[in-house]
Structure 1
Amino acid sequence: MIRRLLSLVVLVWVLGFALFVVTLPQPADDRFTDAIVVPTGAPGRIPRGLELLQAGKAKRMLITGVDRAVKPHELAITQKVPVALFSSSIDLGHEAVDTRSNGEETATWLAARNYHSVRLVTTDWHMRRARFELEHAIGDKIMILPDAVVSEAGLTVLLKEYNKYLFRRVAVLVGL
């Protein structure tokens, strides 16, 4: 009986992983949202957010999880965008240290501005967990538009992210 149960768990995990990989989120359409949020991390996230902001797809952008030593003008230079864009339309969040706290930092930022919609820009393999954390932090009060940055993630990255996603869902389910 225990063998069958373990076999079933392994089978469900393998099938879930396969589904996770073949259904990685894609870039979103061009619709407008009140805000854009970009968690720091993998390449392509910040440039995608900046591209959308400069195209007028949102009023303001939060880059969450930025190291405290990073200054807006430094980021503007490295991203090759006008410093004025950072002054007028971009906030740097320095409180978050992981995906969970990215969600909490973003929820606080959104609530302070009374925004009703947000475009979440993150890597395709990270989107499910980032969206889950943001939804957990804000509830259903704010519409989230997932906008994935397509990557070429390897098997190790995908396995790690799938397991983190599963563990976090279970943790929330049991109240942690």
Structure 2
Amino acid sequence: MSPTPSAVRLRLAVRRVRIATRRTLAVLAAIVGVWLAGLFVFVASLPRNPPADGVTTDAIVVLTGGSERLGVGFALLRDGRAKKLFISGVYRGVEVRELLDRARQGEDLECCVVLGYEADDTEGNAVETARWVRAEGYRSLRLVTANYHMPRSLVEFRRALPDVEVVPHPVVPPRVRLERWWNWPGTAELVVGEYNKFLLAYLRATLTRPPAAGGGV
């Protein structure tokens, strides 16, 4: 007995659904594979040691988020690696003297440190810094932030300041274990989150115009 037309149509529909499902799963598997490969490349590219270059820039910019970053920024300023130190993303009410005291630095640096209070994320850091850099007429800066945060920071800063040389100065936080990072839940969560943010920042920088940075800090 030959199948009825309705049965044939049902079989064809089921077959089409199965084919579409297999194709969808293949595409999703490819996307996950590319994302996972990119994650391992991203982590592998993160510096494990602080830089040892002798480059001098017009300014040093520190992004808040870790005590190690401030210490490195102050040390670079004391070593004469730049004329000024700009700290972006500082809580309102915090003054330069307080930060110097926390870092056990002398008041002789107070004249050369400027605080920015407007930024609350990495894009905001870049916009806030761009305003200050342009107001000062600087052409180069050394960017100090954590090594895992540096790729996204460079995307944002080079987008906001395309005509300014940005020299990366990654800080290596001792609690972020990048060797066999997948064995450390805290580090794994950190680098996966930062990798996803980096991808979004890169996509936004590719598809949109740079943020406005006119006016003063």
CA contact (8 A) 2:155 2:205 kept: no
CA deviation after TM superposition for structure 1 residue 67, in Å: 0.4
Alignment partner, residue 111 of structure 1: 134
Alignment partner, residue 164 of structure 1: 197
Distance, in Å, in 2 between the alignment partners of 1:172 and 1:54 is 34
> Which amino acid in structure 1 is aligned with residue 46 of structure 2?
L
CA deviation after TM superposition for structure 1 residue 172, in Å: 3.1
Flag the structure with more relative contact order, 1 or 2, with Cα contacts below 8 A and sequence separation at least 6. 1
Distance, in Å, in 2 between the alignment partners of 1:149 and 1:90 is 19
Alignment partner, residue 12 of structure 1: 34
Alignment partner, residue 161 of structure 2: 138
Q: Residue deviations 1:87-123, cap 9 Å, x none? A: x211001111111100001111111111111100000
Task: Say which one has the larger Rg.
Answer: 2
For 1:119, what is the secondary structure of its paired residue? strand
CA deviation after TM superposition for structure 1 residue 175, in Å: 2.7
Q: 1:59 aligns with which of 75, 83, 86?
A: 83
Alignment partner, residue 114 of structure 2: 91
- Unmatched runs of 5 consecutive residues or more in structure 2: 1-22, 177-186, 210-217
* CA pair 43-159 structure 1, distance change in 2 beyond 3 A: farther
Q: Which runs of 4+ in 1 moved over 4 A?
A: none
| TM-score, with structure 2 as normaliser | 0.76
CA contact (8 A) 1:62 1:93 kept: yes
Distance, in Å, in 1 between the alignment partners of 2:46 and 2:205 is 22
> Which amino acid in structure 1 is aligned with residue 136 of structure 2?
R
Q: CA RMSD in A?
A: 1.4
Aligned residues: 174
Distance, in Å, in 2 between the alignment partners of 1:35 and 1:76 is 18
CA deviation after TM superposition for structure 1 residue 79, in Å: 1.0
Distance, in Å, in 1 between the alignment partners of 2:108 and 2:72 is 18
Distance, in Å, in 2 between the alignment partners of 1:4 and 1:43 is 45
Distance, in Å, in 2 between the alignment partners of 1:43 and 1:78 is 9
Further displaced range: 95-104 or 164-173: 164-173
CA contact (8 A) 1:35 1:61 kept: yes
| TM-score, with structure 1 as normaliser | 0.93
CA deviation after TM superposition for structure 1 residue 42, in Å: 2.3
For 2:169, what is the secondary structure of its paired residue? strand
Q: Residue deviations 1:121-144, cap 9 Å, x none? A: 0000000111111111111x1111
Distance, in Å, in 2 between the alignment partners of 1:89 and 1:99 is 23
Percentage identity across aligned positions? 37
